[in-house]
Structures are given as structure tokens and as C-alpha cells.
Structure 1
Amino acid sequence: MLHDVTPAPDTPFNDWDIVATSAWPAWVHALAVVAVVFALALSWTSTRGAPLRLRLGLLSLRAVLGALLVCLLLQPGRRLLATSRQPDRVVVAVDTSASMAVGEGNQQRVRRAATAALAVIDDVTQREPPFAPEVWLFDDTLKKAGVDDLRALADGARPAQGPATRVALPLEAVIEADGGARAPLGGVVVVSDGGDTTGLPVALTTDLRERAARLGGSDPPAPLHAVVVGADASFQDVVVDRVVADEFAFVRNPMTVEVTLRQRGYGDQAVPVTLAEDGVLVAKNEVSFAGEATVKTTFTLTPQRSGKHLYTVQAAVLAGEAIAENNRADFTVKLIRDRIRVLQVTGRPSWDERFVRRLLKENPSVDLISFFILRSTTDISGAHNSEMSLIPFPTRELFTEQLGTFDVVIFQDFNYRPYQMGIYLQNVADYVKNGGGFLMLGGDLSFSEGDYDGSPVADVLPIRLRPGHGHTDVEDFVPVVTDAGRRHPVTDIGGVVDTGAGNGNPFAALPPLQGLNLSAGLQPDAVALLTHPAQNDDNGASQPVIAVRDVGRGRSVAITTDTLWHWALPQAANGRGSPSDAHRRLLANTLRWLIRDPELSHVKLTLDAPGDIARGVEPGAPVTAEIRAFDARYDAEPGAKVRLTLQPLDTAGARQAPVVVQGETGADGTFRAPLHPQGPGAWRVRVEVEKAGQAIGFDEDVFVVRAASLERLYGEARPELLAALAAAGGGQAVDVDDVEGLPFVDHGRVRVHRQKTEPLWNRPAALALVALIAAVEWWWRRRRGFA
């Protein structure tokens, strides 16, 4: 019984029960019961020796008397109740998304759905006992409605135009809203075409199945019924239902794309399915449905170019298809290098070379080509070259034919002059300016000591070299991190060592370094990340230990010591029992920065649109581009010029002129621009940022504008999904023309409208009864000679 009293003075009393009205505390009642038990025991012992029949008679009278006295203490009363049967709720949820507008006149899906919902309401309200219907309308949101709204939908006065469909939304909302003082749930009826746009599979999700099975939180649970609209036998369509591909893939490695096709009305017909990359056909399969509603096909390809690329799955449009736009699915894959190709040229073996080479070889993402120059053309070998086991250094091949195939070139303690390499240094400089990465490590044969002053390589280094030799220092030192170094990704090794000893500077907590190649100072556009604590350059600034520079489209790094390997020794772990990770992190960060890893870019492009942009942009929806620019120190770069280009990727749109947007970053280094792609298809956004005529960087991204709205693409009815939902909820899936007689749960809950209590204990008859029983017991005991 539900004691939710609602004042209704005119409702007659139709039920009653007995209640205790005593205000005495419980301990008083307990004490009374103890007293009665004591009186009974006293009565029994005081009649010892008398006939058993007499003893039992006296004990019974005293027990009745004691019970009456306890009852009077409880002050019984009769509670009069005015009640009514509370009907269980039946939620009727009607789909009003745009796909429900399919059909003409009275055969329009939404009109048939509303008519069916009205029939369900008439049915449940005329049952005995009746149910209380609740009307909900849903698409991608849920709203309460009424019978008048259903009549408007049934008459065609209210259109179905919701932007998307969440078939499971009514179920989720019922579960969240159920409970409290609301009437119990008798069942849920979902009236829909099943055209879910969230990608809900027929198997549903585990959580959804479990929650549907416990609908209403009662025993038995409330059933979930589905009324299917639009499952016409004449409807024909082929849908690219799902595409499964990794968001990231490796260049020159096989990539698999799994495509799920769904058909209705085509039986065992075959359909060609193609896969295109940036509008260029790369694979084709012939798929036969063989009478199945759903089939899968797989494409395997080996991409060759890095970057973000558009892939298009296209199923041929068959004769009589209701929706041609859903035969295509576009998606993007970011193709990245599987390995970084590194050329390491070393003048002679050393501890620094050994540690660097070991880290490069252990890194699975690095493809290392390493050369040790152990003899020059001027060395006297005492034997003919054909008798030597050392191979000649392939100077011309490396620095003319193969140089462009490397991502990073490392010169480590290497003097070029003895190997007649001077004519190739311009190639190295051009390689850097055209996008390559160059790293020079310190040593007795590096920088000025390697005769690089005045060479083309000196022009691309981050530091200015001093002429001649003898520009070295051999003292121990602890490098000082600069403000730029605290923010730069190259020197971001936080967390790999204890920093307490260095007041937040991880390098101060590492073992000291020994030896430094001295320079004249930084190039004008270079940045020092670590500096020497005592040595100064020609301008009085601290000598750089690690410096970085952007050179044209490439980058260069100078590390002016050959003892960074100290940071790989066990003592660098500050007593933690394992070798420090600082050396590995620093070298890995340097490689990532040199190859312009997108995560370390000076320009970040972010695209945003209503909904999930990864699933495609609705036709006509705006796309917002946000560009963030950073300077060499990775601070926000205000006042930078931004050039943004929007270009269609599809072959059909290749003749369209690109849309160009120009602007300038604000004080926070950010620039935002709305983009309005003209038509469906794939679009590439490229942003280039510069300041004072110097390029800061670029970034690009790809997005897809759908050929039609999600409701149009998922416009076919899916009775199998509704049937699965009903089965999970213990209900039935019925046709829109057969909705009567659906079973629901009646919990039999009663609502109390008003009540009144009449005392029974203070009536003369009750008091007279107590007095009579007490007198009879006293008279009988006295007559038999008992006290």
C-alpha cells in the first residue's frame, strides 16, 4: 500500500484496519508485558496442590485479563481509509526524427507511428484495472508530450524533423527517472523505425541488455515492447553500415580495413565495393549477400605516404535503391613513419659514441645506418686496399644519392677533411634547409676542432664557430637549464630523476659533465636550452651546451659536449638502483624534435564542429579552425601572420579554387576562423604561420562533410534492432498495425487519499469487559480458598 496521503474530503471511506494509538514509549509496554507474565506465574504457583482443571481455569482467566489490560495500554483504534487503485505507468515513446518523415500522406512513418501510439493508449486505459499512459517524443533528445501532440503528428500537422536518432534513449531515460513516489512502471512501448544513428549494433551493449532486463526495478520487471514502423517489403537499400580501421597506421606496412554492408530487398545480389585513397582507387572487392542481411568484406593495402589521408569506401548504387547517399563512407587515417631513418657518422670510437649508438639500436622506431671512420686516405696501412677488411667509406653514395632518404643525420666527433668530404658539405646544408634534421655532438673532432668554421655546415648549426683550433674546455661542470629549456620538448626529462637536489632542475640532480667545445655564441635565430655555468661566449653570454635552431624547413641541434653518457650511468639514478633514463629521454626528444613530430610542432591546428567531427560534419554545419602558434621557446607567439587554406580532396572538387583565410594571432598566440565548406566530400585544411618573414611552422588536418544528414543516411527501417531491444527487455516486437493486447505488469499498488482513526479502548463496553473478567477471577479464587 502506498501511504501518500492526498487530501480529498469527498472521497468515501472504503477500507479499515486496526492500529495502536498509544503515546506511551515502548519500554512501558514491555514492562506491562513483564508484569502480566509475573502475574501469571504467581497465579500458577499459588494454586499448587489443587486439581489441574481448576488451576488451568484460573490461569486462563488471568491470562485473558492480562491481555485485555495490555491491549488497553496500547489504546487500540479503528483506522478508516479512503483508497483507490493506483494504475501502473505505461511509457509510450514515439520517434520523431527526420527518418520518420519517409512516406507519403497517411503512409508517412511518423503518422502511422502516432496512430499506433494512440491505439496503445486507448487499449491500456480501457483495461481493468486500467494503466496510466505517459507520452514521450524522442530523436536525439527526449521530451514529455501528451495525447494532443500525438494527434498532431497523426494528422500531419506536426513534422518529424529530429537531427538524429537514439533508439535506446527512452529506455535509458526511464531507468534514470524511475523511483521515488512515482507510480510503478508497468511497461515501455517504443514506436520507431529503428534507424539508430549512434552506431548501436544489433547485439546491443552488455550494459544496455542488463539494464533492459531489470526495467522498473520490480519483480517481475516491466516489459519493453517495440512497435516497428517502415519495415516494408518493397523498401530496397544497400548501406555501408560500418568501417573498422585504425586511426593510425604505419607507412609501408599493411593496413586492414573491414567493411560491414547491410542490405534490404536485394536477396543474394552481388555488389562491387571499392576503396580509394585521396580519391584514387586502391582496391576493389565483389561482395555477394547470398540472402544475408549483413556481410563483411576486408581490404588490405600498403600506404606509401605519411600524413593524414582520406579513405573512401563506395558500394555501387543498385537499381531501385531508396537512399543512394548511404552507399559511401569516408574516414581518415593518420599515416606515420614506422621507423625513423638515421645516419650516424663517427670519427672514432668513444664512450659517447657507444652510448648513443646503443640507444639508437635499442629504439625499435629507429632504422640506424652507422659508419665508423677508422682510417683515412692518408693513413699508411702497409697493405693493399684489397687486403683490408674495412670497407671504404661510401661518401658519394651517402651524401648525394641517399642523403634525402634519411630523416636525421648525426655527425659525432667527426672531421670531414681527411676523407675529402668538403665538396659534399653543401649537400648536407641543403638537406637541412629542405626539411632534414641535423645533430652535431661534441668531441675533439667536432665543431671548430673539426674545421667546420666557414663551411656550409656552419651556416646551419645553431652556434657560431670560432676560427682555428684549441677552443675546448676540459673542466667538470653542471649545466644550467635556461628559461627556454624549461619549456622546450628536447629538454623535457622531468620525472626520470629526483629533482629535489636541483631545486626543480633535473639536470642539476644528474652527474656532472666533463669537457666542452667552445663557440662564438648563438646564431641569431637559435635558442640555448642548456648553458655552461662559468664559460662565456664572445658576447659575454653563457656558453651553450645544447642549442636548437629552425633552418628553412629543417632543424639542427648542437650538443657541445661528448660526456652526456654520464647521465646513463647507474649513479645518475640517485640511488634508486637502476640506470637513469635521462640520457635516453634526451636523445629520443632530440630525434622527435628534429623530424618535426606533430606533437612537438610550433603550430597546432584543431578543428571543431557540432557533433562528433570524426564521424563527419552535417551538411551546412560550420567548422571552426583554431590555430595556436608558439615561438622557439614554446611560448605563445602573438602577432604572427596566419594563412589558412581550405581545399577539397575529392577528385570531383579538384577544380574548385581553394578558400584562403588570413589573420593574425592574438596575445595568447591563438587565431580562430570559421570555415564553410561548399558541398559534401573531404576537405583538407592547411595552415602556415610566419612572423617577420620567418616561417614558424605549419599543420594540416582533414575532415569530411557528409553527403546527407545522418537521418538521411540511416533512413532505412531496422526491425532487427528493435526486435533485439524488445527481446532484451522481455517484451515483444510487433508491427505498427498490430499493437493491441501487449502485456504489461500490474503491481496492484493502492493509494490512500484520506484516513481517520476512531478509538476503541475508551468505550464503556471494553471497560465493563475488563471489570467482569477481573470479578469472576477474584470470586472463583476466593471460593476455592486461594488468595
Structure 2
Amino acid sequence: MTGTLVFDPLLPWIAIGALGGLAVLGVALALWRGLAGWGLRALAALVIVAALAQPSWQREERAPLDDIVLIVEDKSASQTLADRAGVTEDAATTLEEELAGRPNTQIRRIEVGDGEENSGTQLMTAVSEALAEEPPAQVAGILLLSDGRLHDLERAPDLPAPMHLLMTGQEDDWDRRLIVENAPAFAILDEPVTLTVRVEDEGAAPDVAQTTIDISVDGAEPQTFDIPIGQSFDLPITLPHGGLNVIQFTVPEAEGEITDRNNTALVQINGVRDRLRVLLVSGEPHAGGRTWRNLLKSDSSVDLVHFTILRPPEKQDGVPVNELSLIAFPTRELFLEKIEDFDLIIFDRYKRRGILPSIYLDNVRNYVEEGGAVMIAAGPDFASADSLARTPLGEVLPATPTARVIEEAFRPEITELGERHPVTSGLGTAEDWGRWLRQIDVTPTDSAEVVMSGTEGRPLLVLDRIGEGRVALMASDQAWLWSRGYEGGGPQLELLRRLAHWMMKEPELEEETLFAEPTGQRMRIVRRTLGEEVGPVTVTRPDGETETVTLEETSPGRFEAVYEGPEIGLYRLEEGEQEAVVGLGPAAPREFEQTIATASLLEPVLDTVRGGTARLENGLPDIREVSPGRPAAGRGWIGITPREAYETLNVTQVPALPAWLVLLLASGLILAAWLREGRR
């Protein structure tokens, strides 16, 4: 129980001060005039002023509160290296037993694991949350059992007591890690992209000048190079294919290093074409010619070469050639010398007119078989005797004309196969599309794929693969009606864009493909097929274990499943003849980027509360009690600050000057002063 004098003034202190000042002036005046009762008057004024301050004697009944010591155990992934986990557990148990022997002391053991989404060790976040749950006036100390590798130092709270780092790890630990300093998200196909890597040795590493590095693309057989240690090294890589390329860098584990988890790095780069080169040959000016030109010119990744035949050889009007503003069609240069430079050739309503000799069209056929792409936008000329189908190019076309031109309105429809084909799937509902007014009747070849149909179900859009190349036939020249909004129009721009990109072998438009969309340690496995069902996907994990994943059809021809990877690394997917490789998360998690124990990261926080660092390999330090503000650590010891906190159970107040006593004293003193001065 304790007692203190407290005041509860009846008037503001400034008013009491003013009254006290007036009393002093009155007493001084009485003294100056020689009044015999000035002393009694002064005592009376003092009693009145004291009564206005209303002093009371306050007594409190207190119960002492326990000191609280926080023991924070770092159980992140880096703490699993070597013997750190066991050392941490033993040290925490010993500290708990020792602190429990101190009177009025409670212990809080807090475990800190890996942060979410590869955010590393959130040590300061855990300390902040723990302090928020405890009264700051009772916290006597904070003991961190960690390797000192934390990733949230900016969240360090204001500490109410000394904090100390009891550090795991050995002084002779060393580690070798691989760092990819730059890795672009995209790279141009057939052009080398330079990746900069660096190998660093940390800790008590041996004196080694260089090491080897293995580079593997999409899980293929790796290539080995020698690189220096401690220096940035440029590695030129040429991507083998378009779409996602997974490149894995691996440095072999050295004898004695603490872990090899940071000896591997995964880089995922999308391979893109530099420019898609397209040759568009229009046989004659017509309303749909601008549709193809506008489509291809609107794509910044397309280099378009467009020729329109305005003056065919049979047109003889006597105008001298040197007076024409037209240029000659460079047939030899385009179809013999530079044909391999083009990714796609489009013949728009072109027919035999003596401009392209058969040898040139035969060269176009060879171009397709060797991996090129040809698109035919057919008009009435395709059904005539001058049709391209009656040239050497006809051998690779996906359909042959019947010589019939159907001049009637029809609404294009997607076939059952087209619902599953990436060129036409998901384009919308045919009932909402406008009609076309002309169709060329064709007969598709045995290997052709009819993805759109027209009047009476006749083939409208026919696709095929010839050798290494691709061909497409649009059996109508009326697609431009959609772009003009006739009867509501239709998805003309998206259809022609997909068609052009499918022919140029863009990976996202392959009919039979298996790929994955990674997000952290989760991936969405996607299998696209023209078939009606697919088998389960075999997933090979980084540790070599395999498991099967069953896919469900989400739309025609598209099967998906979400897979949660149990670990970070390279995963291989296989379904039938389709294979894919994908990396989940970084190959070296943030916890393993730097693994050598250190106190340097925490020193700025420890210095604010005069805390210290001790290595557990040297044994546990002694625990001493220190006063607030004093150094809290020294050689072989650490300190905690007893808080002497208490809980107030009861408070009573007794007036120091009861009202009756004030009245009696004040009136008595005033009366005595009056009587004394009256006798004189």
C-alpha cells in the first residue's frame, strides 16, 4: 500500500494563484501599516487558499505484475541448414527454464516460419505482433534465436526493452550461390540474348578462382561452361522456339558449402519473332482488298509488302510504259530470290494472268513444303479456268474448286471441328453475325480441316498442313462485309488475325498443345486438342517423383486443371506425345539467397536499445538484470530490465482539510486578529 498527496482544486489554478497574490498584498499592507494581527491574517489567508486547492491523501492498494520476456524462434527454411534447427530448439528450452526460475517472470515463446509468397523471414513482423498483444510496461526483454537473415527490417517496432540476437550458425560456414543479374521477359527468335550471371562465395570460403555452370533449355541436355567466381559473366542464349522457354542454370555443389539450394536459377523467357514478314498479292482491286491491308498494317509486328495487279499483260491501250505511274511487279526478286524471307504469302483473288510463270508458283509450293505458309482468299476467279488450283500450287491447296460460284446470301457458321480449333473457337454466336453474299464451291482434300461452313454446309474456311508448312483457303471474298457492319457485321478482324497467326505458327494457336500458366507455386495446366477427350497429365516434380493429374473440359477442345506444386523448381508435364516444361517459383527461394549467419542486418535495431549479439556455438550467455538506459550486453552476458509493473486494486482518498476544520481555522484566525488589534 502506498500514499500520496493529490490536489483537486475547486477553482482553476490561475484563479487560486490570483487570490493568493491578493492575500500576500493584503498581508504586506497590514505589515506596512503596523497592524499587530498581520501574522494571524496571513495564516487565515493560507488556510483559505489551501482549502481552495482541496488537498487529499490518496492511498492505493497495489499488486505487483510479472515481467514478460519474449523468446522468438526463427524456424524459417534457412534455419534448417546444418544443425541450426536443433541448436535453436535446445537454446530456447534452456532459456525458458532459466527465466522461469526468476521470480515474477513470464515467458512467451514465438515461432516464426517462412513468409507467404516467398517473402522470406518476417522476424520484425512477428515481434511487432507479439508486442501488440502484451502490455509494454511489463516487457522486460526480447531474445531472438535466429541466423540474423531477415527480410522485413523496415517493420521494426519501437522496443520497450532490450533486444538481443542469439545467433545460430558456425563461424567457418561458407556458401556458393548463383545470381542471374539480368533476364529479359521477351527475346527475339534466332537472335542471341545475353544473360548476365554471377557466382559468389560467401563466408569462410576456400580460395577458388572459377567453377563450371550447366545451362539447360526446356529440360534438354545441358551445356557446360567455365566461369570465374566473383565476376559478372555474359552468356549468349539463342531461344529454340517461340512461346515460353524455360532456361535452367546450375552450378555444381562444392565440397563443404552449407547448401546447394541457391546453386540453381530458373529463367523463363518468351520467344517472339522480330517481325512477321507478309507478302500480299491482290489480283485486282476490289472492295475486300483494303480489309487485308488494314488488318496487316494495324499489327505493329508485321512487315507488309503489298502488290495489286492494276495493269495486267493483256491490257494494251497504247500508253508508253515510261509515262505510267505504276511500278513493275518484281516477280523474280519476290518469288525466287527472297521468297524465304516471308513468313506468309496471301493471294487475294489472284488468277493466272501470265505474270507469275509456273516455275514461280512451283517455287511457292516448295516454299510451303519446307515450312512456309500460303493463304488463298478466293473469289470467282478461283472457280475459273485460270484458277490457282490449276497451277503447281494446286498440289498443296486444302481444297479444289468445282467451278461453281454460289451467288446467294448465307450466314457463316463454325463447324463442330471449328468449335475446338483455336482459329475459330470462341468467336461468338453465328446467329448474331451478318450474312455474306457469295461463296465458291470447293471440295476439301482428305487431310484438310473444315472449320467454317457456308451455304448448305459447304466448306468455307479450310485449313491443312503440308510438309512443314501450312495452307488455308477462304472460299469467299466477302469477309469485308463484316468489317463494314453489314447486317451487324461479325468478328472479321479477330478471325483474320487468328488465321494469319496460326499460319505463321504462333504457339498460342496450335491445335495440339500442352502448356502451363504458372503463378507462384501453383500452375494451371492446359491441354488443347481437336479430339473429344484427353488422358491424364503426368507431372514430374523437381525431386524426380511423378504423379498424374486429371484434366476437365472447360470449353470445346480445352482441358484444364489447377496443380499446387509441393516444392519450388522445374516441373515436366507429359500427356501422350505432348510435353511441356515449366518452372514454379524461383529455383533459389528468398530464404536461400544468402545463408551465412550475420548480425549486421539487426545491428541498427539492437543499438537503439543497447542490446547485443552472442553466438550460440560459444554457449548461452548469462542473463543479468540491468537498469533502464544502461548497456544491456557484455562479454558472456545479456541483460533484461525488470519493469516493476503493478496493478492498482483499490484507491481511497481522505481530505487533508475537512470543511469544518477549514471553517474553524479560518474564522478563528480572523477573529483572533480582530481581537488582538482591537485591544491595542
Q: Which amino acid aligns with 2:69?
A: R
Q: Report the TM-score when normalising by structure 2.
A: 0.67
CA offset at residue 81 of structure 1?
2.7
- Residues 470, 323 of structure 1: CA spacing in aligned structure 2 closer, same or farther, 3 A cutoff? closer
CA offset at residue 210 of structure 1?
2.0
Q: Which amino acid aligns with 2:207?
A: G
- Counterpart of 2:601 in structure 1 is 724
- Residues 124, 34 of structure 1: CA spacing in aligned structure 2 closer, same or farther, 3 A cutoff? closer
- Residues 328, 755 of structure 1: CA spacing in aligned structure 2 closer, same or farther, 3 A cutoff? closer
Aligned to 1:228, which of 144, 154, 167? 167
- Residues 718, 130 of structure 1: CA spacing in aligned structure 2 closer, same or farther, 3 A cutoff? farther
Q: Which amino acid aligns with 2:67?
A: P
**Which 10-residue stretch deviates more, 92-101 or 660-669?**
660-669
- Counterpart of 2:233 in structure 1 is 297
CA offset at residue 287 of structure 1?
0.3
Q: Which amino acid aligns with 2:114?
A: D
- Counterpart of 2:54 in structure 1 is 71
- Counterpart of 2:191 in structure 1 is 253
- Residues 734, 599 of structure 1: CA spacing in aligned structure 2 closer, same or farther, 3 A cutoff? farther
Aligned to 2:155, which of 184, 201, 211? 211
Q: Is the 8 A contact 1:643 1:687 kept in 2?
A: yes
Q: Is residue 82 of structure 1 aligned with residue 70 of structure 2?
A: no
Q: Is the 8 A contact 1:19 1:79 kept in 2?
A: no
- Residues 192, 765 of structure 1: CA spacing in aligned structure 2 closer, same or farther, 3 A cutoff? closer
- Residues 725, 421 of structure 1: CA spacing in aligned structure 2 closer, same or farther, 3 A cutoff? farther
3-state SS of 2:190 partner: coil
Aligned to 2:278, which of 320, 325, 342? 342
3-state SS of 1:68 partner: helix
- Counterpart of 1:173 in structure 2 is 126
Q: Which runs of 5+ in 1 are unaligned?
A: 1-12, 103-107, 143-163, 290-294, 495-503, 530-536, 573-581, 615-623, 632-638, 689-697
Q: Is the 8 A contact 2:41 2:669 kept in 1?
A: no
Residues of 2 paired with 1:647 and 1:136: CA distance? 37
Q: Is residue 92 of structure 1 aligned with residue 72 of structure 2?
A: yes
- Residues 719, 38 of structure 1: CA spacing in aligned structure 2 closer, same or farther, 3 A cutoff? closer
- Residues 270, 659 of structure 1: CA spacing in aligned structure 2 closer, same or farther, 3 A cutoff? closer
CA offset at residue 718 of structure 1?
0.6
Q: Is the 8 A contact 1:645 1:661 kept in 2?
A: yes
Q: Is residue 768 of structure 1 aligned with residue 661 of structure 2?
A: yes
CA offset at residue 251 of structure 1?
0.9
Q: Which amino acid aligns with 2:281?
A: V
Q: Is the 8 A contact 2:72 2:127 kept in 1?
A: no
Q: Report the TM-score when normalising by structure 1.
A: 0.60
Q: How does 1:278-357 map to 2 (within 5 A)?
A: 278-280=219-221, 284-289=225-230, 295-316=231-252, 318=254, 327-348=263-284, 353=289, 356-357=292-293
The percent identity for this pair of structures is 20
Residues of 2 paired with 1:226 and 1:359: CA distance? 65
Residues of 1 paired with 2:502 and 2:549: CA distance? 27
Q: How does 1:82-161 map to 2 (within 5 A)?
A: 82-84=62-64, 86-95=66-75, 100=80, 102=82, 108-117=83-92, 132-140=106-114
Aligned to 2:301, which of 345, 353, 365? 365
Deviations 1:232-290 (A, max 9, x none): 43x5653335565234322123322232323252124322334344545557343044x
Q: Is the 8 A contact 1:567 1:583 kept in 2?
A: no
Q: Is the 8 A contact 1:94 1:117 kept in 2?
A: no
Residues of 2 paired with 1:69 and 1:236: CA distance? 76
CA offset at residue 314 of structure 1?
3.5
- Counterpart of 1:61 in structure 2 is 44
- Residues 274, 685 of structure 1: CA spacing in aligned structure 2 closer, same or farther, 3 A cutoff? closer
- Residues 285, 432 of structure 1: CA spacing in aligned structure 2 closer, same or farther, 3 A cutoff? same
Deviations 1:142-169 (A, max 9, x none): 9xxxxxxxxxxxxxxxxxxxxx998623
Residues of 2 paired with 1:63 and 1:460: CA distance? 121
Q: Is residue 701 of structure 1 aligned with residue 675 of structure 2?
A: no
**Which 10-residue stretch deviates more, 341-350 or 374-383?**
374-383
Q: Is the 8 A contact 2:180 2:195 kept in 1?
A: no
Residues of 2 paired with 1:666 and 1:362: CA distance? 34
Residues of 2 paired with 1:304 and 1:492: CA distance? 30
Q: Is the 8 A contact 1:224 1:729 kept in 2?
A: yes
Q: Which runs of 5+ in 2 are unaligned?
A: 623-631
Deviations 1:661-714 (A, max 9, x none): 89785586675789999x9996643547xxxxxxxxx975304699x9989x95
- Residues 124, 68 of structure 1: CA spacing in aligned structure 2 closer, same or farther, 3 A cutoff? same
- Residues 675, 110 of structure 1: CA spacing in aligned structure 2 closer, same or farther, 3 A cutoff? closer
Q: Is the 8 A contact 1:69 1:770 kept in 2?
A: no
Q: Which amino acid aligns with 1:81?
A: E
Q: Which amino acid aligns with 2:649?
A: Q
- Counterpart of 1:685 in structure 2 is 573
Q: How does 1:517-532 map to 2 (within 5 A)?
A: 517-519=438-440, 526=450
CA offset at residue 551 of structure 1?
3.5
Q: Which amino acid aligns with 1:758?
A: T
Deviations 1:765-784 (A, max 9, x none): 66324322134336656988
Residues of 1 paired with 2:480 and 2:562: CA distance? 51
Q: Is residue 275 of structure 1 aligned with residue 215 of structure 2?
A: yes
CA offset at residue 410 of structure 1?
2.0
Q: Is the 8 A contact 1:228 1:734 kept in 2?
A: yes
- Counterpart of 2:478 in structure 1 is 561
Q: Which amino acid aligns with 2:153?
A: R
Deviations 1:191-246 (A, max 9, x none): 3456x7xxx7xxx5xxx23223xx2x34xx6665443333243x565333556523
- Residues 413, 781 of structure 1: CA spacing in aligned structure 2 closer, same or farther, 3 A cutoff? farther
- Counterpart of 1:157 in structure 2 is none
Q: Is the 8 A contact 2:572 2:579 kept in 1?
A: yes
- Residues 43, 268 of structure 1: CA spacing in aligned structure 2 closer, same or farther, 3 A cutoff? closer
Q: Which amino acid aligns with 2:580?
A: D
- Counterpart of 1:694 in structure 2 is none
- Residues 344, 229 of structure 1: CA spacing in aligned structure 2 closer, same or farther, 3 A cutoff? same
Q: Is the 8 A contact 2:61 2:649 kept in 1?
A: yes
Q: Which amino acid aligns with 1:760?
A: V
Q: Which amino acid aligns with 1:719?
A: A
CA offset at residue 344 of structure 1?
1.5
Residues of 1 paired with 2:100 and 2:547: CA distance? 63
Residues of 1 paired with 2:43 and 2:384: CA distance? 122
Q: Which amino acid aligns with 1:182?
A: P
- Residues 659, 448 of structure 1: CA spacing in aligned structure 2 closer, same or farther, 3 A cutoff? farther
Q: Is the 8 A contact 1:663 1:671 kept in 2?
A: no
- Residues 77, 193 of structure 1: CA spacing in aligned structure 2 closer, same or farther, 3 A cutoff? closer
3-state SS of 2:67 partner: coil
CA offset at residue 394 of structure 1?
3.5
- Residues 466, 391 of structure 1: CA spacing in aligned structure 2 closer, same or farther, 3 A cutoff? closer
3-state SS of 2:350 partner: coil
Question: RMSD in angstroms over aligned alpha carbons?
Answer: 6.3
Q: Which amino acid aligns with 2:145?
A: V
Residues of 2 paired with 1:700 and 1:276: CA distance? 16
Q: Is the 8 A contact 1:443 1:562 kept in 2?
A: no
3-state SS of 1:719 partner: coil
CA offset at residue 299 of structure 1?
1.2
Q: Is the 8 A contact 1:251 1:304 kept in 2?
A: yes
Residues of 2 paired with 1:563 and 1:674: CA distance? 41
CA offset at residue 172 of structure 1?
2.1
Q: Is the 8 A contact 2:275 2:301 kept in 1?
A: yes
Residues of 2 paired with 1:755 and 1:607: CA distance? 65
Q: How does 1:601-680 map to 2 (within 5 A)?
A: 605=514, 607=516, 612-613=520-521, 626-627=525-526, 629=528, 640-643=532-535, 665-666=552-553
Q: Is the 8 A contact 2:200 2:229 kept in 1?
A: no
3-state SS of 1:171 partner: helix
Residues of 1 paired with 2:192 and 2:507: CA distance? 23
Aligned to 2:621, which of 699, 717, 740? 740
- Counterpart of 1:532 in structure 2 is none
Residues of 1 paired with 2:220 and 2:331: CA distance? 44
Residues of 2 paired with 1:90 and 1:659: CA distance? 44
